[in-house]
Structure 1
Amino acid sequence: MKMVRAIVRPDKAEDVVSGLEDAGYYSLTKLNVFGRGKQKGITLGDVHYDELPKVMLLMAVEDESVEEVVKVISYKAYTGHFGDGKVFISPVEEAITVRTGAKGL
């Protein structure tokens, strides 16, 4: 089992969520966050914005689904410009449903 964390542009978040739903991946957590990437923010005129609004999507998925989930996220979030986002993948040791105590997804 893996945790997929995707940080995407706010204007692309719903496209990503819809794409994941269409592919059969419904369960996720969506957070509004602020941050910056390698470009260290953005300068517009005389104003420098150090932190930019982003959306973080978190999903626990089975190992065999990771590649497909990342493919959907990357396709739907892509604009070709700096700040399109980043996907992080890390292992999940265990998941337990609070209501039932069931282990696994």
Structure 2
Amino acid sequence: MKKIEAIIRLSKFEKVRDALAAIGVRFFTLSEVKGFGLQAGKKMTYRGSTYDSDYIARLQLEILCAGEKVDEIIDTIVSAARTGEVGDGKIIVTDVEHIVRIRTSETNAEAI
């Protein structure tokens, strides 16, 4: 079992979501995150006031999957989220030892 964490631009979420659905990814967790990297922060204006933002808003998707699906999911996210500009995001893959669905006590692949 694998966990894929993808940090993407907010503007690319719908395209990534639709692309994942097309390959059969039925479930993921979505979080709004902020980060700091190669892309510098921007000045933002809200109701006439200007704010200096040191952090860039992004979305983080967490996807649990079987090991054989990892490459397909990564390729799908990369093709849907890529703009070619600095700040397109990152994808991290980690091993998952055990998954339990609380409602039914199913484990591992059945719990996804």
Q: What's the TM-score once normalised by structure 1's chain length?
A: 0.90
Q: C-alpha displacement at 1:43, in angstroms?
A: 4.7
Partner of 1:32: 32
Q: What residue in structure 2 maps to residue 16 of structure 1? A: 16
1:95 pairs with one of 71, 83, 99:
99
Aligned residue type for 2:41: I
Q: Classify the secondary structure of the residue corresponding to 2:62.
A: strand
Q: Which of 49, 53, 77 is residue 73 of structure 1 equivalent to?
A: 77
Q: Find the counterpart in structure 1 of residue 87 from structure 2.
A: 83
Identity %: 31
Q: TM-score, normalised by structure 2?
A: 0.85
Q: Deviations over 1:11-42 (max 9, x none)?
A: 00111111000111111001111112234x23
In structure 2, the residue corresponding to 1:42 is in which secondary structure? coil
Cα distance, 1:57 vs structure 2: 0.2
Larger radius of gyration: 2
Structure 2: runs of 5 or more not aligned? 44-50
Unmatched tracts of structure 1, length 5 or more: none
Aligned to 1:7: 7
Q: How does 1:45-84 map to 2 (within 5 A)?
A: 48-84=52-88
SS in 1 for 2:91: strand
Q: CA deviation at 1:104?
A: 1.2
Pairwise CA RMSD of aligned residues? 1.6
Q: What per-residue deviation string (whole Å, max 9, x for no partner) do you get for residues 56-96 of structure 1?
A: 00001100000000000000000000100100000000110
Count the aligned residue pairs. 103
Moved over 2 A (4+): 41-44
Q: Secondary structure at the match of 2:108?
A: coil
